[in-house]
Chains A and B, each alone.
Chain A
Amino acid sequence: MNKLCSSSKFLYTLKSSVAVAEKDARIYYLKPPVIIFGILFPVFFFLAFSLGRKIPPHNLIPSLVAMTLFFTSSSVGPLVTPWERTARTYERLLTTPVSIFSLLSGDTLAGLLFGMVISAVPLIIGPVFFHTSIHHPFVLLGGMLISSLCFSCLGVLLSSPATEAPSQVMMLSSLVRFPLIFISGIFIPLENLPFWGKLAAMISPLTYATDIIRYSLGGSGFYPVFLNIAAILAFSAGFFSFALRFHQKNLEKGI
């Protein structure tokens, strides 16, 4: 009986998370901040660093995929909650029998799917225009999925401040995300970084995502695959549990 109850609870949690993700996809994917910070920004950022420099395709494509995945997956989360607070729909969600866990899972799922779909574009650009090949497709798919999950969780964590101004949260998210670009082996491979750079790279989840994607596309990984996977999953769990904690605290304070 208890087993049945917990399985039906799980199913209900899953269904409500999917409903929230579907709502997020319909409403927020085409909002200007998501387009600007999630799609245009990584493209221009990448062009600014790659044009005029002779970067080999096996370094260029993994960086482009990792950066796109990072920006797109983490761009939905920071927008949803502040936007809903401003639009006065957040309170409506809180009155439904959906837990904060389900709400945040739904937001995470929306970011994950957005990241995966948009990142498929640079992934296709590689073999079509630069004749790169995918050496480890399953590792690539798995790596991209968990990386997208991780960045989406980061986005949800960044939506935690109890503000009604989406612009404030977008600013905060830029403040957190931009420095990570420079320390994660995107533009300079990890092996070429100085010692302090390698140390700094360890605290960025983007490092492990870039490394696993680079390995999958035929480059050499700096860390073993299992370590990359473990690090990405640990970051995901950390980001999500902190987000959950902050959102629950906000609820307790009535904000």
Chain B
Amino acid sequence: MNENLVIKVSNLTKFYRETIGVDHISFEVRGREIFGFLGPNGAGKTTTIRILTGILLPDEGEAKIMGIDIIKDPIAAKRIMGVVPEVCNVYVDLSAWENMILMGKLYGVRKDEREKKAEEILQKFGLWQRKDEKTRRFSKGMKQRLILAMSLIHNPEVLFLDEPTSGLDVQSSRMIREVLQELKLKGKTIFLTTHNIEEANLLCDRVAIINKGKIVAIDTPERLKGAFQKTQSVEVAFDRIPLNIKEIENIPHVNSCQRLGDKLRLYTPNPDRVIRKLTEYSEKNNLRFISLSILGPSLEDVFVKLTEEKETSL
């Protein structure tokens, strides 16, 4: 086995009665990597992470975490991983400190070590001052920080996070992202599912896009964007919103037009021609440019394109 390989998934399949949750997926995650797992709702992200963390058993295939088979030896595999499940909460009848200590006990961390580690992590996550408070009174952001803190009590080598920043305030999301980047620098491997494409773009070394249970692409965010260079766009804002958008949509080389607040985004393989036509249009309609920019394809564009393509091919 390649020593640098931390997660190896082969032919993983899960059926739910008549439907298929994940369909013979295979991928590998290297050490010290933040690996993003993207997909629309119901695509199979959570099923995959639940199998990889030993909550769910697959119908076919295998998954190894640092060489340990999660299906055959789940206890050994779970010892080396930290998990932040999507549908998960802290014990609201316990304090932050008690939650941390409970996790330490369940992971078999020695008393002195778990107390030292709990203090260190709670301080790092800005929860130390409120460590003795019942977590019932914590905000969602604080609870999510505590969940992440609890997953680190045993210093895991691999961290699985299912939508870790979903629905959080900006400060908590930012703090979680910073912690993840720090963990990566410390040599940890991170497997993360997210809806937030921008988050994946900023954080992940590589991403896999899953749709309808199948993996449709795996690569670095930049390489994925490069493969879709033809989906460039021109973003324009005038001093007033044009009344007749149809006319703009009909500009040659414009594939589609999207209204984003007071801006218009025109998807085109030929931005130069579109900008010339926009200039003519603004003069004709007596409009003044507020902003004009050419945008490369975003990871979101790639995601939409790939999941749409899959949809139409099905």
Interface residues of A (CB under 8 A from B): 12, 15-16, 19-20, 22-23, 26-27, 87-89, 91-99, 251-252, 254
> Known: A95-B53, A95-B54, A96-B107. Contact between A89 and B90, CB under 8 A?
yes
* B75 engages A97 (CB within 8 Å): yes
| Cα-based distance from A99 to B57 in the complex (angstroms) | 14
* A16 engages B108 (CB within 8 Å): yes
B243: interface (CB < 8 Å): no
Residues of A within 8 A of B92 (CB): 87
**How many residues of chain B are within 8 Å of chain A by beta carbon?**
32
Shortest beta-carbon distance from B287 to chain A in Å: 52
For chain B residues 232-267, which have a beta carbon within 8 Å of chain A? Answer: none
Shortest beta-carbon distance from B61 to chain A in Å: 15
A-binding segment of B34-42, B80-88, B200-208, B217-225: B80-88
Residues of A within 8 A of B98 (CB): 26
In-complex Cβ contact of A97 among B90, B93, B102, B107 (8 A): B107
* B55 engages A97 (CB within 8 Å): no
* B78 engages A95 (CB within 8 Å): yes
* B89 engages A89 (CB within 8 Å): yes
> Known: A15-B108, A94-B55. Contact between A254 and B50, CB under 8 A?
yes
* A91 engages B54 (CB within 8 Å): no
* B78 engages A89 (CB within 8 Å): no
Shortest beta-carbon distance from B276 to chain A in Å: 56
B91: interface (CB < 8 Å): yes
Residues of B within 8 A of A251 (CB): 55-57
| Cα-based distance from A97 to B107 in the complex (angstroms) | 6
| Cα-based distance from A95 to B75 in the complex (angstroms) | 9
Shortest beta-carbon distance from B235 to chain A in Å: 40
| Cα-based distance from A254 to B102 in the complex (angstroms) | 25
| Cα-based distance from A22 to B105 in the complex (angstroms) | 11
| A12, A15, A91, A251: residue with the most chain B Cβ atoms closer than 10 Å | A91
| Cα-based distance from A87 to B54 in the complex (angstroms) | 20
Residues of A within 8 A of B55 (CB): 91, 94-95, 251, 254
B314: interface (CB < 8 Å): no
For chain B residues 40-98, which have a beta carbon within 8 Å of chain A? Answer: 50, 53-57, 74-76, 78-79, 83, 85, 87-94, 98
| Cα-based distance from A252 to B78 in the complex (angstroms) | 17
| A23, A88, A97, A98: residue with the most chain B Cβ atoms closer than 10 Å | A97
Q: Nearest 8 CB-CB pairs, A to B? A: A19-B105, A95-B83, A97-B78, A88-B89, A96-B106, A97-B79, A27-B93, A254-B56
| Cα-based distance from A87 to B92 in the complex (angstroms) | 9
* B88 engages A88 (CB within 8 Å): yes
Shortest beta-carbon distance from B87 to chain A in Å: 5
Please, could you name 9 A-B residue pairs with CB atoms under 8 Å apart, sorted by A? A15-B105, A23-B94, A88-B89, A92-B85, A97-B75, A97-B79, A252-B57, A254-B55, A254-B56
| Cα-based distance from A75 to B80 in the complex (angstroms) | 35
For the complex with contacts A93-B106, A96-B106, 6 further pairs of A-B residues with Cβ separation under 8 Å are: A15-B108, A20-B106, A94-B55, A97-B76, A98-B75, A98-B106
* A12 engages B93 (CB within 8 Å): no
Residues of B within 8 A of A19 (CB): 102, 105-106
In-complex Cβ contact of B89 among A23, A92, A252, A254 (8 A): A92
| Cα-based distance from A88 to B76 in the complex (angstroms) | 24
| Cα-based distance from A120 to B7 in the complex (angstroms) | 53
Shortest beta-carbon distance from A155 to chain B in Å: 20
Shortest beta-carbon distance from A98 to chain B in Å: 5
| Cα-based distance from A87 to B107 in the complex (angstroms) | 21
| Cα-based distance from A87 to B16 in the complex (angstroms) | 24
B103: interface (CB < 8 Å): yes
> Known: A87-B89, A91-B85, A92-B85. Contact between A23 and B102, CB under 8 A?
yes
> Known: A88-B87, A88-B89. Contact between A99 and B106, CB under 8 A?
no
Residue of A nearest to B81 (CB): A95
| B14, B54, B105, B147: residue with the most chain A Cβ atoms closer than 10 Å | B105
